């Protein structure tokens, strides 16, 4: 058995134990897929990032939820590069990251904040049943209808697809009581990995928050993700696509999330044409080592 340095890093925050926790294994060379899945299950956070050398980029990453591998994770990307900066492995500057969805650009500021450029957006309106969505999410369907004429339900992806659902008021967002099986079925019906519900009626209006969001990804083993980089990027592209701000689209937006899970965090979002960036701070909350057993080549690791 070998031990691997393993971190828990809170992304989209400067305060430990807030934002969204990600596992980070800074040097995962030598770990098998089965071992990575076992580590992610042991850490039991929404995603764990495993970093490797790369022939195409500055480094390579693989992402695992507690139940399966996923193609992209925004907060784990921010967390991993924040940890590398904290360690002195990287300085402020521009880097590249090989991911399952392609090579992405990463920018690190002098303060250690990390910005990732996501894939070019794919956005399209979907046929939608408000009653079905209301039942799945435990919310009055009229909360969707009030804004649906201007901002319709839509498929949105910048690397990981989400169903975008705007609602009218924060009280509806905060009081949702989702049926996770029904939410998973709703996401599957629209060929997305999860559902992102948001309102412009934000908690931190005094902090210039653009909106408040909640992300549900039960199909990937994450009932509710506290603060979501991939969904935030997709939502930023969605707002641009449907001209949410008319001719005055903000240069930078701030999406708040996680308050109803006691994990508040803030995601910076920039959209310039087909270029979408999300960014934020990260702080290491746990730094240790994990002993990883060997598995038989054909052994199946079940959640």
**DSSP per-residue string spanning 226-248:** SS-HHHHHHHHHHHHHTTTTTT-
Q: What is the mean predicted confidence (pLDDT) over 153-173?
A: 96
Strand bridging mode 93-99 / 59-64: parallel
Q: How confident is the model at residue 302, as a pLDDT?
A: 45
150 or 96, which is more confident: 96
- 124, pLDDT greater than 80: yes
- 113, pLDDT greater than 90: yes
- Residue 47 bears catalytic tag: yes
The rounded distance, in Å, linking the Cα atoms of 190 and 103 is: 27
Note the pLDDT tens digit of each residue in 22-66: 999 999 999 999 999 999 999 999 999 999 999 999 999 999 999
Q: What is the mean predicted confidence (pLDDT) over 239-259?
A: 93
Burial annotation 234-263 (CB, 10 A radius, 16+ → b, else e): bbbbbbbbbebeeeeebeebbbbbbbbeeb
Give pTM, 2 decimals: 0.93
Confidence band (pLDDT; 50, 70, 90) for 301? very low
Q: How confident is the model at residue 288, as a pLDDT?
A: 97
- 180, pLDDT greater than 60: yes
Q: How confident is the model at residue 207, as a pLDDT?
A: 62
Percent of the chain with pLDDT over 90: 91
- 176, pLDDT greater than 90: yes
The rounded distance, in Å, linking the Cα atoms of 43 and 66 is: 8
Confidence band (pLDDT; 50, 70, 90) for 246? confident
- 206, pLDDT greater than 70: no
The rounded distance, in Å, linking the Cα atoms of 143 and 214 is: 15
Query: Which among 97, 43, 40, 38 is positioned nearest to 64, based on CA atoms?
Result: 40
User: What is the pLDDT of the chain when averaged over all its residues?
Assistant: 94
- 177, pLDDT greater than 70: yes
The rounded distance, in Å, linking the Cα atoms of 151 and 154 is: 9
End-to-end CA separation in angstroms for the chain: 21
Q: How confident is the model at residue 162, as a pLDDT?
A: 98
Q: How confident is the model at residue 205, as a pLDDT?
A: 57
**157 pairs with which residues across the strands?**
122, 161
Of the candidates 2, 15, 33, 47, the residue annotated as catalytic is 47
Confidence band (pLDDT; 50, 70, 90) for 278? very high
Q: How confident is the model at residue 210, as a pLDDT?
A: 95
- 297, pLDDT greater than 80: no
Going 89 to 49 to 264 to 153, the CA torsion angle's sign is positive
């Amino acid at each position: 058995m070998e031990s691997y340095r393993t971190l828990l890093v809170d992304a989209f925050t400067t305060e430990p134990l807030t934002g969204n926790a990600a596992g980070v294994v800074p040097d995962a060379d030598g770990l098998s897929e089965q071992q990575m899945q076992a580590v992610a299950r042991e850490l039991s956070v929404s995603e764990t990032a495993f970093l490797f050398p790369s022939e195409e980029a500055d480094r390579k990453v693989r992402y695992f939820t507690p139940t399966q591998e996923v193609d992209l994770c925004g907060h784990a990307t921010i967390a991993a590069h924040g940890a590398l900066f904290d360690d002195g492995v990287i300085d402020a500057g521009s880097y590249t990251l090989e991911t399952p969805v392609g090579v992405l650009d990463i920018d690190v500021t002098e303060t250690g904040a990390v910005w990732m450029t996501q894939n070019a957006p794919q956005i399209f309106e979907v046929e939608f049943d408000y009653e079905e969505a209301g039942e799945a999410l435990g919310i009055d369907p009229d909360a969707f209808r009030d804004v649906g004429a201007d901002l319709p339900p839509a498929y949105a992806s910048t690397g990981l697809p989400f169903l975008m659902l705007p609602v009218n008021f924060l009280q509806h967002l905060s009081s949702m009581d989702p049926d996770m099986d029904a939410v998973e079925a709703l996401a599957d019906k629209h060929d997305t990995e999860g559902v992102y519900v948001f309102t412009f009626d934000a908690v931190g209006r005094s902090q210039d928050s653009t909106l408040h969001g909640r992300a549900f990804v039960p199909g990937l083993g994450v009932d509710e993700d506290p603060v979501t980089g991939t969904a935030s990027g997709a939502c930023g592209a969605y707002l641009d696509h449907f001209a949410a701000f008319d001719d005055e689209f903000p240069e930078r937006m701030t999406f708040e999330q996680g308050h109803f899970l006691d994990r508040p965090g803030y995601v910076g979002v920039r959209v310039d044409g087909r270029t979408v960036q999300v960014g934020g701070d990260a702080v290491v909350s746990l730094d240790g080592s994990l002993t990883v057993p060997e598995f038989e080549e054909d052994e199946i690791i079940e959640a």
